[in-house]
Amino acid sequence: MTDPHRRILHVDMDAFYASVEQRDRPELRGMPVVVGGDVRGVVAAASYEARKFGIRSAMPMREAERRCPDLVRLPVRMSWYKAVSDEVFAIFREITPLVEGLSLDEAFLDVTECQNLHGSADRIAVTVKDRIRRQTGLTASVGVAPNKLVAKIASDLDKPDGLVVVTADNLQSILDPLPVRVIPGIGPATGKQLVDAGIRSIAELRAAPDRVLEPIFGRYTRRTRERAAGIDDRRVVPSRPEKSISAEETFPRDLTERPDLHRELMRLCERTSTRLRARSLAAGTVQLKVRQSDFTTFTRQHALRPPGNGTDSVFNIARQLLDSWLRDFPGARVRLLGVGGSELTPACQGDLFDTGNGRSGRMGAELDRTVDEIRGRFGDESLGRARVLGSRLRQNW
């Protein structure tokens, strides 16, 4: 049963990636902006101006550009977004140690025990929003509620730059008129089943008899009804470890030549290794993902011993995996490549940029460190090894 005295905040940054780009480039403010890959990729984030055209995250880029011919498409600067995210999460942790990050741009905060120090949960929410705006120039929407479920729903009710406070007294009056799809876990297919059964609102879901709900939810019927009543006893769990870190790319045209594949593989290894180093993590396993033109997808993996995060170390293993796959599938047309690191462990400082032994290892470490610093400020595509940049320069001639 939900404790009515608990106070949970769900903080959700507004169109985070796109908002960072509009902040950094004021000339883009008020314009429809999306962040994502090339025209064969998908939208990673869309500004609110772009959303007016029905553009959403995970939409194919071609569809987004069809809906809005004046769309501004920008490359992903993940290391920079991570740096901004770190600023935001530092603000959270100044308020409470109970911070559960869901992604770079959203988190739960349990502020139940720190209200004597920082004021009421409502006041804390205002403080968090003000600090984010003052320190980063960005806006966030916040939901305040007795539990995680309702806080997450509330944060989405008044976007952008919203604040919705739900208490035990107004909980049901806020939830009841909302469509059932706002409940996490109820997707398009389940939503259609509910509509077909005459259930559109949370109030109707909560009041529906078991004979109507059981064919849809089965053994989860009781849990679903509890959610419709705003009941959620999950705790905020801080410092959830990441299981893997990866990067992938869908290419503008299918690749068939080994040198081209190796160049793109290096780019992905650079991105993955940079993200590992940014989190002070080392990977014990390198993973390769290959998708052919017919969308058939393959994965391969191999141990990295000792665990590491150096670009060259990751690339050497990924290249071996790719070459082995190419021997099995000669002449394949490759639509997508991905590189990931798993079996993550904390990287000790001495090994943080380790790419091997001896002089070459030290040179690789210095190169990684320099590239990380420049990319962190100017974006992932601002600097790279000659084998990567050279191909792009030739393409532009």
Task: Give yes or no for residue 359 having a pLDDT over 70.
Answer: no
Closest CA to 272 of 252, 249, 241: 249
Quick check: 267 pLDDT over 70? yes
pLDDT at 391: 47
Report DSSP state, residue 27: G
Residue 366: what pLDDT?
A: 62
Sheet containing 33-36: give its strands across: 43-46, 33-36, 72-74
CATH 3.30.200.190 fits 176-228, yes or no: no
Question: Does this model's pTM top 0.85?
Answer: no
> Which candidate in 49, 100, 106, 264 is catalytic?
106
* Predicted confidence band of residue 397 (pLDDT cuts 50, 70, 90): very low
Q: Is the pLDDT of residue 141 over 90?
A: yes
% of the chain residues with pLDDT over 90: 67
* pLDDT value for 4: 66
Q: State the pLDDT at residue 118.
A: 87
Mean pLDDT over 358-363 rounds to: 47
Average pLDDT in the 164-191 region? Answer: 93
Report whether pLDDT(220) > 60. yes
Residue 365 pLDDT > 60, yes or no?
Answer: no
What pLDDT is recorded for position 377? 54
CA nearest neighbour of 240 among 290, 279, 182, 296 = 279
Per-residue model confidence (pLDDT) at position 370: 63
Question: What six digits make up the tokens of 314?
Answer: 């990751």
Rounded to 5°, the CA angle 94-87-124 comes to 40
Least confident of 36-45, 223-232, 304-313, 314-323: 36-45
Does residue 37 surpass a pLDDT of 80? no
Phi, psi of 45 (to 5 degrees): -160, 150
The pLDDT of residue 9 is above 70: yes
**Given this model, what pLDDT does residue 194 score?**
95
Token representation of residue 30:
């008020």
Active-site residue flag, 106:
yes
Distances (CA, A) of 31 to 68, 219, 301: 11, 47, 42
Provide the 8-state DSSP code for 350.
G
The two domains 16-77 and 176-228 share their CATH topology (first three levels equal): no
- Does 358 have pLDDT greater than 70? no
Query: What does the domain layout of the chain look like in residue ranges?
Result: 16-77, 176-228, 244-396
CB-neighbour burial class of residue 170 (10 A; exposed 0-12, middle 13-18, buried 19+): exposed
273 has pLDDT over 50: yes
In this predicted structure, what is the pLDDT of residue 396? Answer: 36
Write the CB contacts of 92 (distance below 8 Å, at least 6 apart in sequence): 11, 99, 107, 109, 128
Whether pLDDT at 356 is above 50: no
The CATH architecture of the domain made up of 244-396 is 2-Layer Sandwich (3.30)
Whether the CB-CB separation of 41 and 250 falls below 8 Å is answered with yes
Whether residue 315 has pLDDT greater than 90: yes
- Is the domain 16-77 a CATH 3.40.1170.60 member? yes
Whether residue 268 has pLDDT greater than 90:
yes
For residue range 319-341, list pLDDT tens digits in order.
999 999 999 999 999 999 999 99
pLDDT in tens, 86-132: 999 999 998 998 999 999 999 999 999 988 888 999 999 999 999 99
The pLDDT-based confidence of 185 (bands split at 50, 70, 90) is confident
User: Is 166 a residue whose pLDDT tops 90?
Assistant: yes
Task: Write the pLDDT tens digit of every residue in 274-297.
Answer: 888 877 889 999 999 999 988 788
